Amino acid sequence: MISAPASGTGKTMLMLGLLTALRRQGLTVQPFKSGPDYIDPGFHLAASGRASFNLDAWAMEPGRLIAHATGQPPADLVLAEGSMGLFDGVATAGETGIGSSAEIAQMMGWPVVLILDVGGQAQSAAATARGFATLRPDLPFAGVVLNRVASPRHDRLIREGMDQAGIRVLGSLPRQGNITLPERHLGLIQAEETAGLQAILDHAGEFIAAHCDLEAIIAAAAHRALPEAPAPRPLTPPGGRIALARDAAFSFVYPHVLEAWRRAGATILPFSPLADEGPDDGADCCWLPGGYPELHAPRLAACNGFRTAMHRFAATRPVHGECGGYMALGAGLVDADGLRHPMLGLLGLETSYAKRRMHLGYRRAEPLTALPGLGRVALRGHEFHYATVLSQPDAPLARVTDATGAEVPETGSRRDQVTGTFFHLIAPASA
Beta bridge pairs of residue 288: 321
Measure the CA–CA gap between 128 and 118, rounded to whole angstroms: 10
Measure the CA–CA gap between 379 and 295, rounded to whole angstroms: 29
The H or E element spanning position 153 is: helix 152-165
Residue 424 near residue 252, CB atoms below 8 Å: yes
Measure the CA–CA gap between 407 and 316, rounded to whole angstroms: 33
How much of the chain is helix, strand and coil, in % rounded to 5? 30, 25, 45
Burial class (CB in 10 A: 0-12, 13-18, 19+), 342: middle
Residue 52 near residue 40, CB atoms below 8 Å: yes
The H or E element spanning position 31 is: strand 29-34
Residue 390 near residue 409, CB atoms below 8 Å: no
pLDDT single digits (tens) 136-173? 999 999 999 999 999 999 999 999 999 999 999 999 99
The H or E element spanning position 8 is: none
Residue 239 near residue 214, CB atoms below 8 Å: no
Does CATH place domain 241-428 in 3.40.50.300?
no
At residue 168, the pLDDT reads 98
For the question of residue 303 being annotated catalytic, the response is: no
Neighbours of 388 (CB within 10 A): 15
CATH fold match for the domains 2-220 and 241-428: yes
User: Has this prediction a pTM greater than 0.85?
Assistant: yes
Question: Can you tell me whether residue 311 is helix, strand or coil?
Answer: helix
Residue 296 near residue 248, CB atoms below 8 Å: yes
Q: Which residues of 102-127 are buried (b: 16+ CB within 10 A; e: fewer)?
A: bbbbbbbebbbbbbbbbeebbeebbe
Residues in the chain with pLDDT < 70?
A: 177-195
At residue 214, the pLDDT reads 98
Question: If you count DSSP H runs as helices and E runs as strands, how many of each does the chain have, helices first?
Answer: 12, 24
Q: What angle do CA 213, 218, 20 make, to 5 degrees?
A: 75
Measure the CA–CA gap between 405 and 211, rounded to whole angstroms: 45
At residue 197, the pLDDT reads 86
| 274 DSSP 8-state letter | G
pLDDT single digits (tens) 175-191? 875 566 655 454 545 65
How far, in whole angstroms, is CA 95 from its chain's centroid?
18
Does CATH place domain 2-220 in 3.40.50.300?
yes
- Can you list the positions of beta strands (E) in 278-346? 285-288, 319-322, 332-334, 340-342
At residue 184, the pLDDT reads 45
The alpha-helical segments, DSSP class H, found in 223-296 are 255-263
| 72 DSSP 8-state letter | S
Q: What angle do CA 284, 289, 290 make, to 5 degrees?
A: 165
Per domain, the residue ranges of the chain are: 2-220, 241-428
At residue 242, the pLDDT reads 98
